[in-house]
């Protein structure tokens, strides 16, 4: 008897070549979004408003506000607003680069070694799901770049809000698609799916209530934090998988050279 093929989400087909440094760089670009948490903590520590900044009640965008004073009904003053806005831009660039460099084929198989892709008219869903996740990640990255380039008090709040919605909606939906793609490959798929679900539910609550809740900062972070965490987790998994494939390819090439050398010496 032959060894059993690892359980897969799709019928047996071909295993795409993912031993690519381009894919590896794209995975680390996705993982780089974690820098946001470091930047946010530093900006909060430097807050100079009359009251300490509270993550439960303070809006994330207040940390990027350029001017000190009353904005809407909040007294904001963020001396390190440049750092916060730069972090938004860097986060968005990481998402854009990841979306551009990571292939749909890789996203289909990254969660578990041995998963194969089938071709043909009956096997299109995984490809479209992966492509949808890439497009939505690109949209979310573009949105957070807009947030960083157009602070809430820059005079174009509609543009700022549009960018924020692009990030929240695009990020949540991207994770839902990626989680659905991976859920039968790895338990991590369920974690990715949960991140997308939490973000999307919080977004719906925010839309229904107009953010008129006792802790708007908490609600907004339930929209945004899962997106950052979920994308970073996905980036880590993909980076590990591609690294394994790169090492395997290097070993195979070394073995081939050794075989050729022995053969030529005989």
Task: Note the pLDDT of residue 97.
Answer: 95
The neighbour count for residue 90, using CB atoms within 10 Å, is 18
Cα 170 from Cα 166, distance rounded (Å): 5
Tell me how far CA of residue 173 lies from CA of 127, 143, 144, 167, 253, in angstroms: 16, 14, 15, 10, 40
DSSP letter (8 states) at residue 153: T
Cα 217 from Cα 59, distance rounded (Å): 5
Give me the count of residues in the chain: 266
Tell me how far CA of residue 140 lies from CA of 23, 148, 263, in angstroms: 20, 13, 54
Residue 138: which residues within 8 A CB-CB, separation 6 or more? 95, 96, 99, 100, 170
The neighbour count for residue 10, using CB atoms within 10 Å, is 16
Task: Note the pLDDT of residue 20.
Answer: 73
Task: Note the pLDDT of residue 158.
Answer: 94
Task: Note the pLDDT of residue 7.
Answer: 41
Task: Note the pLDDT of residue 254.
Answer: 61
Task: Note the pLDDT of residue 259.
Answer: 62
Task: Give pLDDT < 70 ranges for the chain.
Answer: 1-19, 111-125, 248-266
| Alpha-helix residue ranges (DSSP H) falling in the chain | 21-31, 35-45, 81-101, 104-109, 125-149, 157-182, 187-209, 216-265
Cα 65 from Cα 81, distance rounded (Å): 6
CA end-to-end span of the chain: 37
Handedness of CA 189, 34, 62, 97 (dihedral sign): negative
Task: Note the pLDDT of residue 105.
Answer: 76
Task: Note the pLDDT of residue 30.
Answer: 92
CA 18 to the chain's CA centroid: 19
Residue 205: name the closest of 193, 192, 222, 191 by CA: 222
Query: How confident is the model over 134-164, as pLDDT tens digits?
Result: 999 999 999 999 999 999 998 899 999 999 9
- Give the strand pairing for 69-71 and 74-76: antiparallel
* Burial 136-149, CB ≥16 within 10 A → b, else e: bbbbbbbbbbbbbb
Tell me how far CA of residue 223 lies from CA of 88, 116, 214, 227, 243, in angstroms: 15, 34, 16, 7, 31
Task: Note the pLDDT of residue 252.
Answer: 58
């Amino acid at each position: 008897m032959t060894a059993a093929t690892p359980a897969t989400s799709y019928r047996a087909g071909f295993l795409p070549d993912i031993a690519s440094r381009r894919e590896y760089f794209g995975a680390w670009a996705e993982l780089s979004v974690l820098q946001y948490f470091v930047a946010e903590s530093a900006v909060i520590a430097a807050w100079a408003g009359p009251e300490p900044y509270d993550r439960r009640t303070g809006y994330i965008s207040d940390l990027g506000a350029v001017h000190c004073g009353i904005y809407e009904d909040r007294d904001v003053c963020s001396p390190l607003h440049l750092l916060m806005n730069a972090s938004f831009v860097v986060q968005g660039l990481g998402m854009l680069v990841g979306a551009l460099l990571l292939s749909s084929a890789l996203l289909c198989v990254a969660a578990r070694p041995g998963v194969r892709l089938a071709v043909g008219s009956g096997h299109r869903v995984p490809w479209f799901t992966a492509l949808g996740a890439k497009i939505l990640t690109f949209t979310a990255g573009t949105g957070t770049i807009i947030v960083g380039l157009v602070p809430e008090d820059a005079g174009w709040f509609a543009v700022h809000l549009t960018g924020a919605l692009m990030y929240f909606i695009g990020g949540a939906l991207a994770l839902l698609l990626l989680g659905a793609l991976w859920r039968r490959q790895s338990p991590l798929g369920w974690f990715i799916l949960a991140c997308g679900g939490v973000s999307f539910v919080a977004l719906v609550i925010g839309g229904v209530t107009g953010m008129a809740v006792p802790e708007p900062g908490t609600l907004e972070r339930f929209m945004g934090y899962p997106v950052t965490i979920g994308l970073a987790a996905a980036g880590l998994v993909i980076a590990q998988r591609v690294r394994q494939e790169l090492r395997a390819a290097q070993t195979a090439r070394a073995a081939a050279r050794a075989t050729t050398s022995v053969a030529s010496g005989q």
